[in-house]
């Protein structure tokens, strides 16, 4: 099952115009933003990236995920923004922190990180009404060789997918590149969660799948804003949701990794809004 946040079409057109793309089963209304809308997305994307830069040195064995959440919350507020996850569809915290076999939507709490834990921290800010959404992997202490390779493959799959974003190509081209690379490395792509359109809403059409066939799905048009956020498992791709209604874990309890960038389609390719000002890519960050 695909858990997508935007089952309904945007109810109103806050900005730019919308167009019905010929995208097969994912044909939906995708907002085409104005050139002037890139500027506020650069600001919101940069703040999300700065939050991820800030938190890195705090990810150490013994720290609780609630403490990391609080640091991110305060940083976002201090920069004049609001953490989008807090109270979003009942989510109780300001960030998602997903450790080891948690695939996504982990809820920060009093659990202490242990040496060798790998974790995803997913930050979404709302700055001047515009969303900025990005996530990276971190390590407490020293990762296993396999965990390190899982993170490296996941990061590279994201960047290879981004390379395929340009007018003329389709969303299916991106999904195919990601799936092809991940499976060539003997890891698997999670099917139940996807990237999403974004802008003045958290989640809007289209669903950005991290698997697929070349030529499938809508074609890229300058002014489309969306995330790519592949979740990659060391074992089987299936997930289940825990009793809290949020935490997604691998069914076989294998390790899972994820990186997320937010980008806008340009005339010649795309602009990544969430690049790290510190130049951080994948762990180790130094």
Residue 133 within binding range of ligand MF3, rule CB under 6 A = yes
Dig out the tokens for 145 from the structure: 């060789």
Q: How far is the CB of 69 from ligand MF3 (least distance, A)?
A: 11
**258, 103 in Cβ contact below 8 A?**
yes
d(CA 199, CA 25): 23
Contact call for residues 189 and 237 (beta carbons, < 8 A): yes
Smallest gap from residue 43 Cβ to ligand MF3 (A): 18
Among 38, 88, 111, 156, binds ligand MF3 (CB under 6 A): 88
Q: Give the residue ranges of DSSP H helices in the chain.
A: 38-55, 65-78, 145-163, 171-184
Closer to Co ion at the Cβ: 43 or 112? 43
Q: Does 260 bind ligand MF3 (CB under 6 A)?
A: yes
Beta strand segments in 33-163, E: 82-83, 96-99, 102-104, 118-127, 130-139
Which segment (85-93, 138-146, 158-166, 237-245) binds ligand MF3 by CB under 6 A? Answer: 85-93
Residue range at the interface with ligand MF3 (CB under 6 A); choices 40-48, 87-95, 108-116, 143-151? 87-95
Provide the minimum distance between the beta carbon of 246 and ligand MF3 in the complex, in angstroms, as a whole number.
6
250: nearest Cα among 159, 136, 120, 124: 120
Task: Decide if 237 contacts 35 (C-beta within 8 A).
Answer: no
**Contacting ligand MF3 within 185-224 (CB under 6 A):** 196
Query: What token pair was written down for 85?
Result: 């996850």
For 173, other C-beta atoms within 10 Å of its C-beta total 22
**Member of 41, 96, 182, 190 binding ligand MF3 (CB under 6 A):** 96
Interface with Co ion (CB under 5 A), residue from 100, 227, 250, 258? 227
Which residues of the shown chain bind ligand MF3 in the complex (CB under 6 A)? 85, 88-89, 91, 96, 105, 122, 124, 133, 196, 227, 229, 260
């Amino acid at each position: 099952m695909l858990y997508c946040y935007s089952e309904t079409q945007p109810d109103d057109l806050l900005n730019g115009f919308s167009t019905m793309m010929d995208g097969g089963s994912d044909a939906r209304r995708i907002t085409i933003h104005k050139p002037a809308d890139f500027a506020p997305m650069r600001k919101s994307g940069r703040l999300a990236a700065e939050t991820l830069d800030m938190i890195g040195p705090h990810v150490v064995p013994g720290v609780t995920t609630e403490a990391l959440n609080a640091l991110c919350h305060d940083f976002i507020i201090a920069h004049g923004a609001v953490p989008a996850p807090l109270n979003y569809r009942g989510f109780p915290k300001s960030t998602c922190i997903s450790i080891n076999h948690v695939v996504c939507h982990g809820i920060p709490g009093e659990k202490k990180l242990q040496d060798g834990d790998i974790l995803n921290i997913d930050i979404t800010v709302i700055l001047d009404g515009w969303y900025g959404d990005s996530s990276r992997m971190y390590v407490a202490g020293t990762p296993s060789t396999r965990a390190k390779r899982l993170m490296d493959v996941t990061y590279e799959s994201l960047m290879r997918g981004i390379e395929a974003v340009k007018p003329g190509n389709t969303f299916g081209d991106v999904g195919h590149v990601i799936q092809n690379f991940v499976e060539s490395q003997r890891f698997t792509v999670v099917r139940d969660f996807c990237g999403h359109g974004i802008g003045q809403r958290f989640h809007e059409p289209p669903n950005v799948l991290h698997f697929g066939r070349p030529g499938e799905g809508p074609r890229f048009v300058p002014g489309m804003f969306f995330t790519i956020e592949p979740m990659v498992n060391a074992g089987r791709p299936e997930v289940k949701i825990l009793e809290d209604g949020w935490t997604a874990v691998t069914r076989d309890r294998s390790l899972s990794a994820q990186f997320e960038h937010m980008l806008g389609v340009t005339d010649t390719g795309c602009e990544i809004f969430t690049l790290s000002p510190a130049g951080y890519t994948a762990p180790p960050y130094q």
